[in-house]
Amino acid sequence: MSDGFDPEFLGIPLPLPSPAVETVRLDYPRFSVLLDPVRRFAAVTGVVIDGATLLDLPRQGDWRLDPRAPASAQAGPEIYSRNDLDRGHLVRRRDPGWGSASDARDATAATFFYTNAAPQAAGFNQSKELWLGLEDHVLAYAESTDQRIAVFTAPVLGEADPPYRGIRVPLRFWKIAAWRSVSGLAAAGFVLDQSALVDTRQGLRVPPLSAFRTFQAPIGDIAAEARIDVGALAAADVLARPGVRPAGVRELRDAGDIVL
């Protein structure tokens, strides 16, 4: 099925971040998932994207369990039935869809395994739209180089996540995008917060007037909260560059707020 995440894709060695918990690695075309079988969600995903050959393919694929992992270790269709939860792609459907049309179709179809999903509150707003388009903004920024990026994404599997149908619904998600700049490895970290939208007390319904919130955050802070070892990514953080002095976490209102 798979070749998995390529740590040499950027021309700079860049392994997958390493979670503190024991995980099962599952490789797919151009991306990998480190599955936490206790929480039943990915602790880390990593995908490589060649923006120069990225294809805009029609959506095709059906959500399904991965037969390589026990069903009990995956959050399957029962989690998303008759409620206000969407199956949120961790590795975006479009991201591994590059190269030949055949390879791209196989790769995008592979993003529909439940190992690559996590529950996100139904609905949409500007902040969630910004979150879903972060890779596109980084790719556009990287056009002056070779348009290759690596993206790592997962839920923050926190102890305070509310219980629901045998799982705990993640309240926050993290994403780190990395690329090769003229001076070496560069990276930016982001957090999506859906805390205000998740209420499991009444069968999980999205409260009215609630909203997703998207932030740019220091990669070191993300690593500490998600309990992952990010290796060289923390030192490559664009927020750590000389002359960049944001006040820690920055809430993003639109793409113009992103520091790259």
Contact 10, 178 (CB under 8 A): yes
What is the token pair recorded at 141? Answer: 């920024």
CATH class for the domain made up of 18-257: alpha beta
Q: How does DSSP assign 135-159, residue by residue?
A: HHHHHHHGGGTT-EEEEEEEEE--T
One-character DSSP codes across 22-83 = --EEEEETTEEEEEETTTTEEEEEEEEEEGGGB--PPP----B--TTS-GGGS--GGGGTTS
Per-residue pLDDT of the chain (260 residues; tens, 9 = 90+): 569 999 999 999 999 999 999 999 999 999 999 999 999 999 999 999 999 998 888 888 899 999 999 999 999 999 999 888 899 999 999 999 999 999 999 999 999 999 999 999 887 666 778 888 888 888 887 655 568 999 999 999 999 999 999 999 999 999 999 999 888 999 999 999 888 777 655 554 544 444 688 999 999 999 999 999 999 999 999 998 766 655 578 889 888 888 88
Sign of CA dihedral 215, 221, 225, 228: positive
Would you give the DSSP letter of residue 243?
T
**Rounded distance between C-alpha atoms, residue 150 and residue 37, angstroms:** 24
Distances in Å between the Cα of 234 and the Cα atoms of 136, 213, 222 are 22, 23, 9
User: Which of 61, 12, 53, 63 lies closest to 30 in space, CA to CA?
Assistant: 53
Element at 121 (helix H, strand E): strand 117-121
Maximum CA extent, the chain: 52
State the pLDDT at residue 105.
95
Annotated binding residue at 125?
yes
Question: Is 135 exposed, middle or buried (CB count within 10 Å of its CB: 0-12, 13-18, 19+)?
Answer: buried
Domain spans of the chain?
18-257
Full-model pTM = 0.93
Residues designated as active site: 89
